[in-house]
């Protein structure tokens, strides 16, 4: 008589093994590790991000969107380096109250985005916790040898660009927690969706090779993340707040409360790309954005000195108590 299958293995077989079906190197999650051959002429790119209930997502968020956000924030790191995804490793630390229905919906969300972005599960671990649900994903991608976008390449005089719109993630969290009650229902829904489901700009990142001199994704706040690019290059940066692209929903929020503009520029959770490019490559940037079908906007430039200086819509310097989110401050 054989022993019954351990509960953990049954859970993996039920919810996670189907996610590995498209990645042969996962070995059907039956071994201690996966096998992965990098494509010829490509360099592997690896990144990891964790999400904790109550910090990176709301505990009552739909589990489908939690799974999709977990994958998307990691895909955004690949986009920032101009890479394309190959697969991922995932660790789930689940509370005893996390039921089978939650895991089923979580896995369905992952499956939906795996199909959308062309990657699959390679392996990972499942553990229990007495604390909040904690999820960690390590994304693996590839980029042409020598073609990775880096943070440290900006040069004095380079233009500063950003994709998409800024501020929706931060305002979305406010909307979902009842702090933007004056907004229209449509605006609140739009902002909430942007917080729960960021859009990794993989197509744009892949097009910026040979054009951008530096790039990263906006996860912790535009001002703070521009500061990372500037500091890595030994430069300062200037941002024109009037040029920062806002969605119609964000414009509605700022019109109702102008102080929210600072939140848009420093709140984080946008997962757009912010990048440097020489002034003479402006047409190439626009052409790349057209090919990628992603809007871009020039919002400033890199200058000699240090720090990030933001000019407000009134032409005066715009002060910030902090430029973005920190997990340790």
Domain for residue 137, yes or no?
yes
Helix runs in the chain, H state only:
7-11, 63-80, 100-117, 168-176, 185-196, 202-207, 222-233, 248-256, 260-266, 282-292
211: CATH: 3.90.650.10
pLDDT above 70: residue 290: yes
**DSSP category for residue 91:** E
pLDDT above 50: residue 328: no
Tokens 């500091």 belong to: 231
**DSSP category for residue 304:** S
**In this structure, are 125 and 178 located in the same domain?**
no
- pLDDT score for 324: 52
Token pair recorded at residue 165: 């719109």
Instruction: Tell me what the mean pLDDT of segment 101-126 comes to.
Output: 96
Domain for residue 324, yes or no?
no
pLDDT digits (tens, 9 = 90+) for 123-175: 999 999 999 999 999 999 999 999 999 999 999 999 999 999 999 999 999 99
Helix, strand, coil: what percent of the chain each, to 5?
40, 25, 40
CA-nearest of 156, 180, 176 to 279 is 156
pLDDT digits (tens, 9 = 90+) for 218-272: 999 999 999 999 999 999 999 999 999 999 999 999 999 999 999 999 999 999 9
**In this structure, are 16 and 79 located in the same domain?**
yes
Determine the angle formed by the axes of helices 168-176 and 185-196, rounding to 10 degrees. Answer: 110
**In this structure, are 87 and 174 located in the same domain?**
no
pLDDT digits (tens, 9 = 90+) for 195-212: 999 999 999 999 999 999
**In this structure, are 113 and 165 located in the same domain?**
no
**pLDDT confidence bin for 322, thresholds 50/70/90:** low
**In this structure, are 299 and 177 located in the same domain?**
yes
Structural domain harbouring 50 = 7-144
Number of domains in the chain: 2
CB 296 within 8 A of CB 285: yes
Domain for residue 149, yes or no?
no
**In this structure, are 177 and 268 located in the same domain?**
yes
Domain for residue 119, yes or no?
yes
- pLDDT score for 5: 59
**In this structure, are 177 and 108 located in the same domain?**
no
Supply angle C-alpha 247, 248, 250, rounded to 5. Answer: 65
Chosen domain end from 97, 113, 144: 144
Domain for residue 150, yes or no?
no
**In this structure, are 282 and 210 located in the same domain?**
yes
C-alpha to C-alpha distance for 229 and 237, rounded to whole angstroms: 9
**In this structure, are 243 and 175 located in the same domain?**
yes
Token pair recorded at residue 312: 């407000």
Chosen domain end from 94, 119, 144: 144
Token pair recorded at residue 149: 């976008």
**In this structure, are 75 and 111 located in the same domain?**
yes
**In this structure, are 106 and 177 located in the same domain?**
no
Domain for residue 18, yes or no?
yes
- pLDDT score for 266: 96
**How large a percentage of the chain has pLDDT more than 70?**
96
Chosen domain end from 144, 172, 197: 144
- Average pLDDT of the chain to the nearest whole number: 94
pLDDT above 70: residue 6: no
C-alpha to C-alpha distance for 42 and 186, rounded to whole angstroms: 44
Domain for residue 163, yes or no?
yes
Dihedrals phi, psi of 80, to nearest 5 degrees: -65, -20
68: CATH: 3.30.1330.10
Residue count of the chain, please give it: 329
CB 162 within 8 A of CB 99: no
Domain for residue 319, yes or no?
no
Instruction: Tell me what the mean pLDDT of segment 3-18 comes to.
Output: 78
**In this structure, are 42 and 122 located in the same domain?**
yes
Q: Is the pTM of this model over 0.85?
A: yes
């Amino acid at each position: 008589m054989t022993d019954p299958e351990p509960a953990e293995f049954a859970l993996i077989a039920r919810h996670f093994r189907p996610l590995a079906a498209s990645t042969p190197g996962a070995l059907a999650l039956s071994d201690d590790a996966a096998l992965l051959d990098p494509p010829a002429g490509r360099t592997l790119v690896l990144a990891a991000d964790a999400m904790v209930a109550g910090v990176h997502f709301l505990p009552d968020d739909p589990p489908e969107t939690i799974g999709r956000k977990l994958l998307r924030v990691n895909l955004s790191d690949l986009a920032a380096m101009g890479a394309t995804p190959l697969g991922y490793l995932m660790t789930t630390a689940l509370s005893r109250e996390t039921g089978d229905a939650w895991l089923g919906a979580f896995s369905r969300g992952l499956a939906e985005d795996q199909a959308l972005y062309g990657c699959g599960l390679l392996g990972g671990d499942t553990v229990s916790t007495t604390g909040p649900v904690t999820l960690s994903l390590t994304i693996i991608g590839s980029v042409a040898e020598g073609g990775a976008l880096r943070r440290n390449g900006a040069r004095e005089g380079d233009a500063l660009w950003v994709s998409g719109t800024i501020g929706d993630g931060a305002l979305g969290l406010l909307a979902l927690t009842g702090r933007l009650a004056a907004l229209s229902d449509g605006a609140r829904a739009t902002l909430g969706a942007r917080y729960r489901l960021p859009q990794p700009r993989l197509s744009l990142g892949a097009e910026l090779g040979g054009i951008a001199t530096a790039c990263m994704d906006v996860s912790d706040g535009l001002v703070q993340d521009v500061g990372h690019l500037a500091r890595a290059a030994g430069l300062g940066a200037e941002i024109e707040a009037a040029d920062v692209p806002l969605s119609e929903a964000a414009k509605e929020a700022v019109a109702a409360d102008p102080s929210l503009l600072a939140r848009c520029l420093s709140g984080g959770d946008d997962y757009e790309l912010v990048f440097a490019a020489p002034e003479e490559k402006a047409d190439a940037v626009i052409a790349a954005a057209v090919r990628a079908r992603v809007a871009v906007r020039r919002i400033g430039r890199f200058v000699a000195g240090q720090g990030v200086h933001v000019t407000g819509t009134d032409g005066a310097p715009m002060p910030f108590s902090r430029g973005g989110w920190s997990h340790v401050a």
